[in-house]
Amino acid sequence: MSLFLRSSRPLLLGVTLLLSQLAPAQAAEPATVLNLSASAQRELPNDQLNATLYIQERQPQAAQLADKLNRALNRAKADAAGYPKVTISSGNYNSWPSYDKNGKINGWQGRADIRLHSRDFTAAAELIAQLQKYMLLEGVQFSVADSTRKATEQTLIPEAIALLQHQATAAGKALGKPQQQVRELTIGESQPNMPPLLMRAKAMTADAVAEVTTPEWQPGKSTIQLNVSGRIELQ
């Protein structure tokens, strides 16, 4: 009597290969993606002054009005020439007609303003006091100069990123996924918190006084804030 035996090795080999192919897929866990944001701040003393002064006139003829405004602007530029540390620039310049009760033009009104920028508060205060003899002060604002802000950004960037990574580390520890990889990172522009206008002009004519006392400024501080956001993968 003869027996026919069939080897089971091919079948076992096939099962082994199948299990070896399935094992990595079963062992791998899906990565967790976090969308995080963080910010770093720095309080800085304001080191730049910005001021706006204006003249507003009324004349019977448009040409007379333009001449009056232009003379005031030219005088302001001449006065500012004596203060090289103060930058002066032209602002708004507008004119419009005024009407009588019958709807006819009975005169012209206009307004022109200039803007001052300086990091020398003493020089700016002296010039503003001089200009107020024939112009009105609309407002003064203190801020952080661009050069100071940009230099501060360089120190805030690594601080903000470190805070972002600290959040990812804490989340990974809680989820049991210590490995992290930054997939995307966005660095936003710094956001300075601007102080309100320090002062505004009073309702008075520019020639109400012969001399104007030089103001003593209190520039205060501003907070520079840099924001970062990113997508971090935890495994």
For the chain, what are the domain ranges? 48-144+193-212
Quote the pTM value.
0.71
For the cut 70, the answer to whether the pLDDT of residue 15 exceeds it is: no
Q: Give the model's pLDDT for residue 192.
A: 59
Q: Which CATH class is domain 48-144+193-212?
A: alpha beta
Query: 229: exposed, middle or buried (C-beta count within 10 Å: 0-12, 13-18, 19+)?
Result: middle
Across 86-95, 168-177, 208-217, the highest mean pLDDT is recorded for 86-95
Least confident of 44-58, 65-79, 145-159, 191-205: 191-205
The kind and range of the H/E element at 13 are helix 9-27
Q: How confident is the model at residue 224 (pLDDT cuts 50, 70, 90)?
A: very high
> For residue range 23-56, what is the model confidence (pLDDT) as tens digits?
455 556 788 898 999 999 999 999 999 999 999 9
Q: Are 197 and 219 in contact (CB under 8 A)?
A: no
> For residue range 110-156, what is the model confidence (pLDDT) as tens digits?
999 999 999 999 999 999 999 999 999 999 999 999 999 999 999 99
Least confident of 4-13, 40-49, 78-87, 186-195: 4-13
Q: Give the model's pLDDT for residue 217.
A: 78
Q: Give the model's pLDDT for residue 218.
A: 84
SS (H, E, C) 157-200: HHHHHHHHHHHHHHHHHHHCCCCEEEEEEEECCCEECCCCCCEC
Rounded CA gap, 176 and 174, in Å? 6
Rounded CA gap, 153 and 105, in Å? 55
Q: Are 201 and 137 in contact (CB under 8 A)?
A: yes
Rounded to an integer, what is the distance from CA 20 to the centroid of its chain?
Answer: 57
Q: Are 65 and 109 in contact (CB under 8 A)?
A: yes
Rounded CA gap, 116 and 80, in Å? 9
> For residue range 98-117, what is the model confidence (pLDDT) as tens digits?
999 999 999 999 999 999 99
**Which comes out higher in pLDDT, residue 23 or 87?**
87
| Averaged pLDDT for residues 184-190 | 82
Amino acid letter at 18? L
Least confident of 4-13, 163-172, 190-199: 4-13
The residue assigned the tokens 């019958």 is 102
Residue 12: CB atoms within 10 A of its CB come to 10
Rounded CA gap, 188 and 25, in Å? 39
